[in-house]
Amino acid sequence: MSTWDRIKAALRREKRDLDDAIDDATSRGNAALDRRERELTATPEEKLAIEQERGAEVDAEFEAARRRIEGTGDKGR
């Protein structure tokens, strides 16, 4: 295998990695845009439900942080 062949193979691997990263970023971006669009067109009841879900997620994050700080982890439950 010549040096040029090794360089081409490395560049192909890099291209594949970059394509995967771009596809991942694109799909995450599209999902975020779809979620935001749903929020904008939601009824007041749906908006309240969305905010309650967000509140529950934040509460769970705080609880996890509290357990880590206190050193209890999941052992105490």
* Spans of all domains in the chain: 1-41, 43-72
pTM above 0.75, yes or no: no
**Region for 16 from its dihedrals, namely left if φ exceeds 0, alpha if ψ lies in -120 to 50, beta otherwise:** alpha
Place of tokens 């596809």: 23
CA distance 38 to 42: 6
pLDDT of residue 1: 78
Nearest CA-CA partner of 50 in 33, 31, 36: 36
Mean pLDDT of 57-72: 92
Kindly tell me if the per-residue pLDDT of 42 is higher than 80: yes
Kindly tell me if the per-residue pLDDT of 6 is higher than 70: yes
